[in-house]
C-alpha cells in the first residue's frame, strides 16, 4: 500500500507526458488524446473516471486488473474511498459501453478484479 501511495504522489508531482494515440479492442477505439471511445462510427464522451478505468483495462488487455489497482489509478489520494464507489463507476461505464453497442466488454472476475479479454 505504501508503494501505491508513493507512485500516486510521483504521478501527481511529475507530468510524464502521458500516452498519446489509440487503444483498440473488438473494434472499439479509445482515443487517449481526448478521452473518447469510438465504436461503429459513434463517438462516446467518457467521464474522467470512465476513461481511467477503460485506459487501465485496455492497457492490461487479457490480464486481470485488481480492484485495488483501479482504485489507486482513480483516486490518487490518501483519503479513504468506499469500495462501492468503484462498483458504481464500473456499472456506469458498462452501461455507456452497452448503449454504444459493446456488450460484455468488461468481465468481472469475482473476488479478484476486472478484465478485458
Q: Which residues of 58-76 are buried (b: 16+ CB within 10 A; e: fewer)?
A: beeeeebbebeebbbbbbb
Kindly list the strands in the beta sheet with 65-66, ordered across the sheet, starting from the edge strand earlier in the chain. Answer: 65-66, 113-115, 107-109
Q: Give the residue from 3, 114, 2, 18 showing the smallest Cα distance to 66.
A: 114
pLDDT tens across 5-50, in order?
666 666 665 545 444 488 999 999 999 989 999 999 899 999 999 9
Q: Are the C-beta atoms of residues 56 and 69 closer than 8 Å to each other?
A: yes
The model's pTM: 0.77
Query: Distance between alpha carbon 101 and the CA centroid of its chain, in Å?
Result: 18
Q: Are the C-beta atoms of residues 100 and 90 closer than 8 Å to each other?
A: no
pLDDT tens across 50-75, in order?
999 999 999 999 999 999 899 988 88
Read off the C-alpha cell for 63: 490480464
Amino acid at each position: 500500500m505504501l508503494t501505491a501511495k508513493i507512485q500516486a504522489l510521483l504521478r501527481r508531482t511529475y507530468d510524464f507526458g502521458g500516452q498519446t494515440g489509440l487503444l483498440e479492442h473488438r473494434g472499439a477505439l479509445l482515443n487517449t488524446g481526448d478521452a473518447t471511445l469510438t465504436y461503429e462510427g459513434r463517438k462516446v464522451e467518457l467521464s474522467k473516471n470512465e476513461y481511467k478505468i477503460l485506459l487501465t483495462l485496455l492497457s492490461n488487455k487479457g490480464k486481470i486488473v485488481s480492484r485495488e489497482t483501479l482504485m489507486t489509478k482513480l483516486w490518487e489520494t490518501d483519503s479513504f474511498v468506499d469500495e462501492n464507489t468503484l462498483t458504481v463507476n464500473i456499472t456506469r461505464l458498462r452501461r455507456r459501453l452497452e448503449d454504444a453497442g459493446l456488450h460484455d466488454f468488461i468481465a468481472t472476475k469475482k473476488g479478484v478484479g476486472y478484465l478485458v479479454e
